[in-house]
Amino acid sequence: MSKKAVPSADPKDEAACASAGSPAAAPINALLPNEGKIELHRKMVRIRRFEERSLRAYQSKKIGGFLHLYIGQEAVAVGCCSLMGPNDHVITAYRDHAHAIAVGMDTKALMAELYGKITGCSKGKGGSMHYFAPSLNYWGGHGIVGGQIPLGTGLAYAVKYRKLKGAAMAFMGDGAVNQGAVHEAYNLAALWNLPVVFVVENNGYSMGTSQDRSSAGPGLAQRAEAYGMNWGTCFGHDVYEVRATMDKFLTLAREKNLPSVVEIDTYRYRGHSVADPDKTYRTREEIEDYRRTKDPIQVFQAALLAEGVLTEALAEQINAEAVAEAELAAEFAEASPFPSVDDIQKDVYWEVDNPSQRTSQGRLFFD
């Protein structure tokens, strides 16, 4: 069954609806200096080269467990995270490498985490699905489908409780929208006017199940209407369009505490995880078509070349630097030590990790 087209945007709120001209001409993009545009491109390229390098590491058995690649979806994480202000927060599911790089995490620590090394961003305790960077307002990296969405709603609750001007972006896949916890979170966000944008990255499939075979109703974002929330959709292969759309909904959240659901049409080229042989539920032709006509890096590179912002030489240089960065990350990961057995019981309790401030008594660990 082929991927279903995302219905056209029809947000309830007039402000959100007003979309003048092409996405590139939207103020949020038009006002972006050339350096900013190049940075968007660079981020997407760095993400892709990082993930390609991680795939090779996985194939040479340097990485255990699951590895969910984001290749093909880069414009979504990069576009959304590029809009973050100081009080904006991001949380996502297990397909979390891109958001991590997009918010500014160090690829060395990310690769080391995949290798299970102590120098990893979670000291080798989280793995691919559980990247976190609180200092960058990045709250994971969550392995249970839909389980992160109430947490994202809580980030928005905290921002509002503190009377800060900010918003949370809570990302999920097209399969996650059918989880009860997601609907509980929608209801709370709408009921209490929490500044959260629920971002549905619709890549057409939840593992091997197409949207047609898993989700009832006309569209995924449209479910927001049941909760009286604004919603919108966008073509997620164009980083300009992602930014233009998300900017409107983030502004509604930050300025008016209006939550929303935004469904972003995207596509993953690789299997669900590296373990997915990807042979039964979609055609080679479908994948090839996306690669050829909608690749987010190609689409944006072509736009920037046409604008004269990017030259072929600079594009080549950005790519070479990204390849080198990924290689360096792999070398760093390779050279780093594993955690020790003694490390297993660290980072379990705040109190144990801060013994001078411990107030409880008694045994916290058992054998």
Partner 1 sequence: MAVLTYREAIRAALAEELARDENVVLLGEEVAQFHGAYKVSEGLLEKFGPDRIVDTPISEAGFIGMGVGASMLGIRPVMELMFWSFYSVAFDQILNNAANVRYMSGGLINCPIVIRGPANGGTNVGATHSHTPENVLANHPGVKVIVPATARDAKGLLKSAIRDNDPCFFLENTILYGEKGEVPDTEELIPLGLADVKRTGTDLTIVTYGRCVLHSLAAAEILEKDHDISVEVVDLRTIRPLDFDTVLASVKKTHRVLIVEEQKPFASVGSQLAYMIQREAFDELDGPIHRLATIDAPAIYSPPVETEQLPNVPRVLKAALAAVA
Ligand X SMILES: Cc1ncc(C[n+]2csc(CCOP(=O)(O)OP(=O)(O)O)c2C)c(N)n1
Binding site for Mg ion (CB under 5 A): 173-174, 203, 206
CA distance 182 to 147: 8
Residue from 206, 215, 266, 336 in contact with ligand X (CB under 6 A): 206
Residue 95 contact among partner 1, Mg ion, ligand X, none, beta carbon within 5 to 8 Å by kind: ligand X
282 near ligand X, rule: CB under 6 A: no
Helix (H) or strand (E) holding 261: strand 260-265
Residue 123 contact among Mg ion, partner 1, ligand X, none, beta carbon within 5 to 8 Å by kind: partner 1
Count residues binding ligand X (CB under 6 A): 13
**What are 322's two structure tokens?**
């990204």
3-state secondary structure of 123: coil
Of the ranges 50-58, 129-137, 202-210, 328-336, which one interacts with partner 1 (CB under 8 A)?
A: 129-137
Instruction: Pick the closer one to Mg ion by CB: 100 or 264.
Output: 264
Which of 74, 83, 66 has its CA nearest to residue 47?
Answer: 74
**What are 175's two structure tokens?**
């399969």
Q: Which residues contact 282 (CB under 8 A, 6 or more apart)?
A: 1, 2, 3, 204, 205, 210
132 near partner 1, rule: CB under 8 A: yes
Residue 272 contact among Mg ion, partner 1, ligand X, none, beta carbon within 5 to 8 Å by kind: ligand X
Instruction: Pick the closer one to partner 1 by CB: 158 or 323.
Output: 158
DSSP lists the bridge partners of residue 89 as 168
Instruction: Pick the closer one to ligand X by CB: 42 or 270.
Output: 270
30 near ligand X, rule: CB under 6 A: no
CA distance 101 to 90: 12
Please name the residue ranges forming H helices in 33-106: 34-59, 74-81, 97-103
CA 248 remoteness from chain centre: 18
272 near ligand X, rule: CB under 6 A: yes
CA distance 151 to 168: 10
Of residues 77-116, those binding ligand X (CB under 6 A): 95
The answer to whether the Cα torsion of 276, 284, 43, 246 is positive or negative is: negative
Helix (H) or strand (E) holding 30: helix 27-30
CA distance 55 to 61: 10
DSSP lists the bridge partners of residue 171 as 199
Report whether 229 contacts 292 (CB < 8 A): no
Site string for partner 1, 138-177 (x = CB under 8 A): -xxxxxx--xxxxxxxxx-xxx-xx---------------
Place of tokens 């004269």: 308
176 near ligand X, rule: CB under 6 A: yes
43 near ligand X, rule: CB under 6 A: no
Q: Work out how close the CB of 159 gets to partner 1 at its nearest, in angstroms, rounded to a whole number.
A: 7
Instruction: Pick the closer one to Mg ion by CB: 211 or 301.
Output: 211
Q: Work out how close the CB of 272 gets to Mg ion at its nearest, in angstroms, rounded to a whole number.
A: 8
Count residues binding partner 1 (CB under 8 A): 57
Question: What is the contact surface with partner 1 in residues (CB under 8 A)?
Answer: 89, 91, 120-126, 130, 132-134, 139-144, 147-155, 157-159, 161-162, 180-181, 184-185, 187-188, 191, 345-351, 353-354, 359-366
Question: What is the contact surface with ligand X in residues (CB under 6 A)?
Answer: 95, 143-145, 173-176, 203, 205-207, 272
